Each structure stands twice: as structure tokens, then as C-alpha cells.
Amino acid sequence: QTISISEAQEIIKNNLDYTLFSWSKQKGLSPIAVKYAKGVYLYDYDGKRYIDFSSGLMNVNIGHGDQRVTDAVVKQMQQVSYVTPACATKVRGDLGKKIAEISPGNLTKTLFTIGGAEAIENAIKMARLYTGKHKIIARYRAFHGASYGAMTAGGDPRKLASDAQQMPNVIHVEDPYCYRCPWGKEITSCSRECVSHIERVIQFEGPENIAALLMEGESGSSGCIKYPADYLQKVRALCDKYNILLIADEVMSGLGRTGNWFGIDTHGVVPDIIATAKGLTSGYLPFGALIVSDKIAAHFDDNVLWLGLTYSAHATCCAAALEVLNIYEEDNLIENAETMGKYIEAEVEKLMAKHPSIGDFRNTGLLGCIELVKNRATKEPMAPFNAKPDQMTIMNKVAAKLKELGMYTFVRWNYIFIAPPLCISKEEIDEGLSIISEALQIADEYVSR
Ligand code: PLP
């Protein structure tokens, strides 16, 4: 006897039986089967609506289902979908020009990649080729992608499972994690030990061996750890002092997410290289970019650029990106990110008064995360930073509740991310925050007073 199962169940079954899901044990997964998506919402086959409070993986910045991008992509495909990166296309040149216009300082030339990790890999290679030096300094609480080099550069504990094969010559430094300052200081009275620590590491490692310092333009999946106001400026000064390149990883923080074109713009700092992806095409197609200063670009006028990818400057992806960049401007999305970010900050402040499980909330534009604790005085996290998925019992319960109540968002370790599409309205924010408030009742039960 055949058992009839609904369309949605069959889709989920095929997904689970024939495909693998990232970062999880495969048993016991229950993904949402998304039938369609529009604006800030995902819809499943049973007609249930989920508010997308993390813009997918903080990439669908313009929102879902925008016909303008589909039209631009189709039009490009009718003309030329793909040619090798050795050929020139109109759309590639137009996009390069547009990126030069929105990039800070003298960052004028772009190498296109397929996603964020490849942008980081190529940024590291380019820094090494340009400087002739080999070491890269990066932060422990950062994620730069899941390929070997990018993963090594990050400090995210997900890399520990593949620890034996890490890329050589990456050195990590502590984060300016003010909520849990590694030096036990307070932001108002400290001497920026987080910066002098980096300088000591530079001296120990030998500035003559260090090609670049790699930092997210604004911290993302490691917990939106906000840089103290003058931190990146001091880091830039260190780079200048020791002749080290500054690479800003703007894969998550770039393209309007923080209320500026790039996260680093908020700090008034110009890096030597920007690596970006995600919001560049808003997830409509996979794409990434590496934007370099005219000085670095000029170096490769006379030296071979030993970098390349089959799909570099993919014409269809370029068309999607160009349209997405226009949409940011047409719809004033970057301004909206800033305004809505301030609104969220005020509203989460009210939630903090209600929910003792909220230890901290850190936000820039629409890149924010709530950090949950078991006790505000001891700051014991609701799940440890290196927790495996099945050690996140309380957080998993919170995540399940969010889903049940009609929210999709990124929940990991003791963080709940609030990073909705930049087109979100106040009413939609209210809807999302009331769902979070209800789910937080679960976490509150685990708070020791
Ligand atoms: N860099 C940062 C800051 C990221 O957040 C991510 C992905 O989340 C990456 C790099 C890697 O990007 P991708 O997943 O497109 O390879």
C-alpha cells in the first residue's frame, strides 16, 4: 500500500534523502520547504509565512522576489550568459565602474569571484603576491568562508574539525570584544589593549614577514562584536607604520548592510583591499568581488596577476549585481538600513527590560545580534562559543520556537541574529521582535538570578 504524502513532505524527503545539509548532523533535520519568497517573507507549501529576520544568510539585502533583478538577468542571458574571463563584456565594465564609484578612497579595480570565500582566498593571494611577504594576521572571532585558506583565516570553531590541514602562516589575535574584554577592561577607561596586543604580535612575528591584516569591515557571524570607535583607525595606523596591507572582509558587512556602502566606511577608514560578496547580488546569483587600491592595481600592470577562475566576471552575475546596486539607490535602502537599525536598537532596549536572558545587543545598521546569557552578572553564555549543534539545547529550543511562530533567522551558539532585508518596514520589525520576545520566554526560564 502506497502512503500518500503531501507535496511539501515529498520535497523535504527528497532533499534529505539525496542532498547533504551544511554544518549539521543529517539525522533529525526538518528544513522549511520554501515555495516562494517575497520582500521579507518566505512562504511554505502549506501557506505558512515566515518573516526572514536574517536575509537568508545576511545576503538577501534588497529582499526576496524582486522582478527587476529577474528581468536584468534574463535580458543579459538573452544577449550573452557567459564568456571566458579573457573576454570583455559591457556589463563587466559597467559594473566595475559602478563599484569604483561606491568604494572608499582609491579602491578602483575589481576582480570578480564566485562567492565570499573565493574573494578572501584571492585577497590573501594578492596581498602575498603584491608584498612578497607571507604571513596574514586575522581575528579569532571571525568567519571568512569555508574553503581551507579562508577557514584558517577565520577563528570560527567550525574549522577545528578540519584542523590538521589549515593553511600555514596565519596568525590570530584577540578581538575587541568589549562585552567580554579579554583584558578585563571597560571601554570607557581602557587603553585599547586590543590594539597594543596586535602591535606586539606584529613585532613578535616580524613586520617584514607580514603581508596583511584581515578584518571584517564590521563583525558578523561571530556575534556582531562592535569595534570601539577608534579601533579600525588605530589598526590602519599600525598597518601604515609596519608596511602591512589592510584587507577588509566586507562579505557580510558590505553593500548597505550597516547603513553605509561598506562597514568600514562607518569608521572613516580606507583599506587596501575589500573582499565582498553576499549583498553584491543579494543572493539572486552567487557572486563575489575583490576591490583593490590603484597602487596594488598598478603593480599588476607590469607583473603577472597569478589569479583566475572559470566563472570570474560571469556576465549574468554581473548583470544581477549591477541591477542590485541600482536598487539600493532607487529604493533608498541604505538610508532605510540606518533608520530601521536605530528603531531596532530602541525596541530591543525595551525587550532587555523584559527578558533577563538578553545579556547584550550589538548592532550597526541592520547587522545585529542578541547575545543570550544565563546570568547577567556572570555573563555565562546560554551556549558556549565552541558548542556543537547538539550541545545547544536551550538555543535549539529557542530556534524551534521562532520557527513555530513564523520566523526564519540565523541562530548559533548564544546569538540570535537580527539582520533583515534592508527594505524592511517598522511594522515588519515589530512583528519580528514580538516573535523573538515570545521565544525568549524559553531562554528566560534558564536564567539564574
Ligand atoms: N566572509 C564573511 C565575513 C562571511 O560572513 C562569509 C559567509 O558567511 C564569508 C566570508 C564566506 O562567504 P561565502 O559563504 O560566500 O563563501
DSSP letter for each residue of 31-42: ---EEEEEBTEE
Going from the Cα of 253 to the center of ligand 1, the distance in angstroms, rounded, reads 10
H-type helices in 19-108, by residue range?
A: 55-58, 67-79, 90-102
What CATH number is given to the structural domain containing 25? 3.90.1150.10
Q: How far apart are the C-alpha atoms of 209 and 211, rounded to whole Å?
A: 6
Ligand 1, atom 12, residue with closest C-alpha: 116
| 87 located within any domain | yes
- Return the H-helix or E-strand segment holding 363: strand 358-364
Domain limits at 408?
7-62+332-444
Q: For a substitution probing ligand 1, which of 219, 251, 258 has the most ligand atoms within 8 Å of its CB?
A: 251
The residue whose CA has the least distance to atom 2 of ligand 1 is 144
Is the CB of 145 within 6 Å of ligand 1? yes
- Are residue 198 and residue 314 in the same domain, yes or no? yes
Q: Which of 278, 285, 415 to mutate to test the pocket of ligand 1 (most atoms within 8 A of CB)?
A: 278
pLDDT at 3: 59
Residue from 113, 121, 144 whose mutation best tests the ligand 1 pocket (most atoms within 8 A of CB): 144
pLDDT (0 to 100) of residue 163 = 85
Are residues 408 and 292 located together in one domain of the fold? no
- List C-alpha distances in Å: 197 to 62, 176, 177, 201, 271: 39, 10, 13, 6, 20
Quick one: pLDDT at residue 131? 98
User: Is any atom of ligand 1 closer than 6 Å to the C-beta of 277?
Assistant: yes
Q: Which residue's CA is the closest to the ligand 1 atom numbered 9?
A: 145
Report yes or no on 2 lying in a domain.
Answer: no
Residue 292: the pLDDT is 98
Does residue 286 have its Cβ closer than 6 Å to ligand 1? Answer: no
> How many domains would you assign to the chain?
2
Buried b (16+ CB within 10 A) or exposed e, 186-225: eeeebebbbbeebbebbeeeebeebbbbbbbbbbbbbbbb
pLDDT at 4: 62
- Which of 330, 345, 369 finishes a domain? 330
Same-domain check for residues 236 and 310: yes
Asked whether residue 449 is assigned to any structural domain, the reply reads: no
Q: What share of the chain is helix, strand, coil (3-state, %, to 5)?
A: 45, 15, 40
Residue 22 and residue 117 share a domain: no
- Alpha-carbon distance of 276 to 207, in angstroms, equals 26
Q: Is residue 1 part of a domain?
A: no
pLDDT tens-place string over residues 387-406: 776 777 899 999 999 999 99
Residue nearest to atom 13 of ligand 1 (CA): 116
Same domain, 318 and 424: no
Does 225 fall in a domain?
yes
Identify the residue whose C-alpha is closest to ligand 1 atom 1.
144
ipTM of the complex: 0.99
Same structural domain, 39 and 114: no
Residue with cell 538578553: 358
CATH code for position 298: 3.40.640.10
pLDDT at 408: 98
What is the per-residue pLDDT for 393?
87
Quick one: 221 and 345 in the same domain? no
User: Ligand 1 atom 5: the closest Cα is on which residue?
Assistant: 252
Predicted local distance difference test score (pLDDT) of residue 384: 83
Q: Do residues 274 and 317 share a domain?
A: yes
Q: Looking at the structure, do residues 108 and 53 belong to the same domain, yes or no?
A: no
Answer yes or no: is the C-beta of 249 below 6 A from any ligand 1 atom. Answer: yes
Q: Examine residue 342 and state whether it is found in any structural domain, yes or no.
A: yes
Is there a single domain that holds both residue 33 and residue 170?
A: no
- Is the same domain home to 347 and 306? no
Q: Are residues 30 and 159 in the same domain?
A: no
Ligand 1 atom with least separation from CA of 277: 15
Helices (H) and strands (E) in the chain, counts: 13, 15
Mean pLDDT, consecutive 10-residue stretches, the chain (449 aa), reads 75 97 93 97 96 98 98 98 98 98 98 98 98 98 96 93 90 97 95 98 98 97 95 98 98 98 97 98 98 98 97 98 98 98 98 98 98 96 81 90 98 95 98 98 93
Write down which residue in 313, 330, 347 finishes a domain: 330
3-state DSSP call for residue 442? helix
* Three-state secondary-structure class, residue 272: coil
Q: What is the pLDDT of residue 107?
A: 98
Give the strands of the sheet with 41-44, arranged side by side.
Answer: 34-38, 41-44, 49-52, 407-408
C-alpha 265 to ligand 1 mean position (Å): 19
User: 114-128 burial, b for 16+ CB within 10 Å, e for fewer?
Assistant: bbbbbbbbbbbbbbb
Length of the chain: 449
Q: Last residue of a domain, which of 281, 310, 330?
A: 330
- 264, 250 contact by CB (below 8 A): yes
Considering the domain boundaries, does residue 417 fall inside one? yes
Using the mean position of ligand 1's atoms as its centre, give its distance from the Cα of residue 221 in Å.
9
216 lines ligand 1 (CB under 6 A): yes
**Full DSSP string of 205-263:** H-GGGEEEEEEESS--TTT--PPPTTHHHHHHHHHHHHT-EEEEEETTTTTTTTSSSSG
Contact, 53 vs 370, CB < 8 A?
Answer: no
